[in-house]
Every structure is written in C-alpha cells, then in structure tokens.
Amino acid sequence: MKISSATRQMAGKEQTMLFQDIVIKPVGVVQAPYADPTQAPILGYRATVEVFPDYANALLRIEEHSHFWILTWFHQARRNVLVTVPGRINPNLPEYGVFGLRSPVRPNPVGLSLVQLESVEGNKLHVTGLDAIDGTPVIDIKPYFENDIIFSPRTPHMRPLRREVLKGILLKRAIAHHQEECPDLLLAVRMTMLAEESLGHINSPDLQVAVTGSACLADTLQGLTRARLANPPRFRHQLADSPGRSDWSLGSKTLSISARRRISPVDFWNTPDSDIFTDCIE
C-alpha cells in the first residue's frame, strides 16, 4: 500500500517542501460477516483480525490487554471528499468537515475501531466492536491504555434519526462503562433515551443529573452523561431500594423520570415507555 507524494507551499515563500513517499505495509486482514459497507452495522460487530505470519511475533503477550485500537485502511472508500453529512446516523444533520467525523470517506481512509479482545487463536484475534468489512487491510494494532480516557469530552450533538439506533448506541456505551448488562443498566439506558429526546445533548457540560436508586443505576447514568461529582459538580446520587428515579435539568428545561419496575433484555427492546415508567414530568 503506497500513499502518493504531497507538496506544501511555504507561506509567503516560493520554496516548496517535498514530502517523501510514505509506504504502509498491511500487517493483517479483517475476516468479517459483512462485505458491503452499506450493510454493516454502524456500531461494530464480532470479527477476526488475522495477522500475517511475518508479524506474528508482534502478538507476544497480547492477551494481557482487554481492548485495542484497530487501524484499518478503508479500501473501498472515496478519497476526494472533504465535507459530508453523517448520513448513516441521521441524513438531516448538517455538513461537517471529514476531520470532525469518523466518516470512512476522507483523503486518507484510515479507520479507527476500539475493540474488545475475546480470544487469541494463533495469529488470529477474535474481537467485538470492529466496523471494518471483510477483506479490509489492517495497518496497525495498538493497545487501549488508561491514558486514552477522557471522561467528559466536548462533542457536537448528532442525534440519530431512528430511535432504535439511539437505543443501540447508548446500550453499547453503557456496557463499555458499567461492564455488566444488568437490569438497572437497561433501565438507565431507557431513562437516558427519554432525557436525550426531551432535553437534547446529554453530554452537555451544563446538564445536571440527580439519581435515586441503586449503585448500578447511578454508575450507568453517570457513565452515559459524563456528569462529574465535582469540577463542576453536575451529578448527585442517593442510594435507595426503589426501582429508580432520575431528575434532569439543562438550562430552563427540567425532566423527572420514575421507574415502575426493573426490566429485562426483552423489556428493553420491546416494551413502550409507559409500561416502564410511572411518570415522565417535564
């Protein structure tokens, strides 16, 4: 794989700096159940990274890590696009420059996926969360470290067009944070969906959240909202045996959500809000 030469005109000068050719050699290839990028789930899926034999020694002690950044080369992506709409999330969103998106279309179509390592089989890594199609070249594998964490980053609000997509995105984030798909995690995700739909960006630095209920409910809601206990204080929790309640405020908007009961995975996907919550007061 070869990236063509580029030139840069120095500001105010006639001098031109010539970059030498950059050569990238794939270290492996993706084995995935999807060959068409338009059909692949946007939230990633189970797949295998097959590392080529020449690089197998680079996998030494790799099983000591749980998560990895997989860098891929989106070989089917267009490279002449600088501005686009994140259409698979919501085609009604405004345009963004591709450097502000994770869109595969970009001058150098490098993909970046955070995956969880499920198992190692020789030179094959079985992972979850990869969003590259079958046959995609892998250009590097880097471990996820504690320093990669930014607990409350500032990001634009890109609400998915379909509610089911929002539900899936929040569920994936919740499990990544709480590390267990328990009933109160499912309840927290459903609460967060209502807050997102009513108040807007639930990662806003101005959002205030108060939770009454279990530690699991509070932990998941804090992880989803990125609301800190201090600097500035935006999150409060009162331990209780009740199914749970959350109170939200953003600017002049407020929202109170009280749970009727805890829910199961079947309830999470198929039950209407009115059967889960006793009230939802704005």
In three-state form (DSSP H/G/I as H, E/B as E, the rest C), the secondary structure along 92-138 is CCCCEEHHHCCCCCCCCCEEEEEEEEEEEECCEEEEEEECCCCCCEE
Q: Please indicate whether residue 157 or residue 70 has the higher confidence score (pLDDT).
A: 70
125 by Cβ neighbours in 10 Å (0-12 / 13-18 / 19+) ranks as: buried
Tally the C-alpha atoms within 13 A of residue 105's C-alpha that lie toward its C-beta.
Answer: 14
Q: How confident is the model at residue 16, as a pLDDT? A: 45
> For residue 113, what are the contacts with CB-CB under 8 A and spacing of at least 6?
44, 69, 70, 72, 129, 130, 131, 132
Q: How confident is the model at residue 14, as a pLDDT? A: 42
Q: How confident is the model at residue 18, as a pLDDT? A: 58
- What are the sequence ranges of the domains in the chain? 2-148, 163-281
Q: What's the CATH fold of domain 163-281?
A: 60s Ribosomal Protein L30; Chain: A; (3.30.1330)
Distance from the Cα of residue 186 to its chain's centroid: 17
Coil, helix or strand for 279?
Answer: strand
Residue 238 backbone zone (phi > 0: left; psi -120 to 50: alpha; other: beta):
beta
Coil, helix or strand for 160?
Answer: coil
> For residue 231, what are the contacts with CB-CB under 8 A and spacing of at least 6?
none
Running DSSP on this structure, what letter comes out for residue 224?
Answer: H
Q: What is the pLDDT of residues 17-67, one digit of tens each?
A: 556 678 899 999 999 999 999 899 989 999 999 999 999 999 999 999 999
Has domain 2-148 been given CATH number 3.40.190.290? no
pTM of the model: 0.84
Q: What is the pLDDT of residues 184-200, one digit of tens each?
A: 999 999 999 999 999 99
Helices vs strands, H then E, count in the chain: 5, 17
Q: What is the pLDDT of residues 191-250, one digit of tens each?
A: 999 999 999 999 999 999 999 999 999 999 999 999 999 988 999 999 999 999 999 999
Question: Are the C-beta atoms of residues 240 and 212 closer than 8 Å to each other?
Answer: yes
**Does a cis peptide bond (omega within 30 degrees of 0) precede residue 232?**
yes
Q: Please indicate whether residue 188 or residue 15 has the higher confidence score (pLDDT).
A: 188
One-character DSSP codes across 230-267: SSS--EEEEE-SSS-EEEEEETTEEEEEEESS---HHH
